[in-house]
Amino acid sequence: MLFPLIGFSQVGIGTTTVSNAAALTVEAQNPSGGFGGFLMPIVTEAQQASIPVSTIDYSDDGLLVYVSDPVTGKQCLEIYDAYQQVWQSITCPSECDDVLYEEDFNSYTNGTGITGASSTNGDYPSSVTKWTLSSYSTSGNGSLAYPGSLADASDYAIVNGSRLELRDTNGPLLFQTQAININGYSDVFIQMDISETGDMEYFSAQHFDDFNCGSETQGNDYVDIEYSTNSGSTYTEVANYSGLGTTNHTLHNNLSGTVGFVLSGITGTSLIIRIRFQNWASSEYYYLDNILVSCN
Using pLDDT thresholds of 50, 70 and 90, give the confidence band for residue 1.
Answer: very low
Task: State the CATH number of the domain containing residue 268.
Answer: 2.60.120.260
Same domain, 18 and 117: no
What pLDDT score was predicted for residue 212? 45
Closest CA relative to residue 117, chosen from 158, 156, 147, 76 = 156
Same domain, 31 and 152: no
Which of 91, 114, 137 marks a domain boundary?
91
Residue 4 belongs to a domain: no
Per residue in 236-292, pLDDT (tens digit) is 999 999 999 988 899 987 888 999 999 988 999 999 999 999 998 999 999 999 999
Question: What pTM did the predictor assign?
Answer: 0.66
Q: Do 267 and 182 touch, CB atoms closer than 8 A?
A: yes
Per residue in 45-79, pLDDT (tens digit) is 899 999 999 888 899 999 999 998 887 777 889 99
Same domain, 20 and 153: no
How many CA within 13 A on the CB side of residue 246? 16
Residue 145 belongs to a domain: yes
Residue 50 belongs to a domain: yes
Q: Do 286 and 193 touch, CB atoms closer than 8 A?
A: no
What pLDDT score was predicted for residue 161? 96
How many CA within 13 A on the CB side of residue 257? 3
CA 138 centroid distance within chain: 29
Helix, strand, coil percent content, the chain, rounded in steps of 5: 5, 40, 60
| Backbone φ, ψ for residue 47 (5° rounding) | -65, -40
Total domains in the fold of the chain = 2
Which of 73, 91, 109 marks a domain boundary?
91
Using pLDDT thresholds of 50, 70 and 90, give the confidence band for residue 141.
Answer: very low
Q: Is the dihedral of CA 229, 274, 259, 256 positive or negative?
A: negative
Same domain, 164 and 57: no
Q: What angle do CA 51, 55, 59 make, to 5 degrees?
A: 80
Which of 55, 71, 91 marks a domain boundary?
91
Residue 6 belongs to a domain: no
Per residue in 268-279, pLDDT (tens digit) is 999 999 999 999
Range of the domain at 57: 11-91
Cα distances (Å, whole numbers) of residue 55 to 44, 84, 86: 21, 10, 10
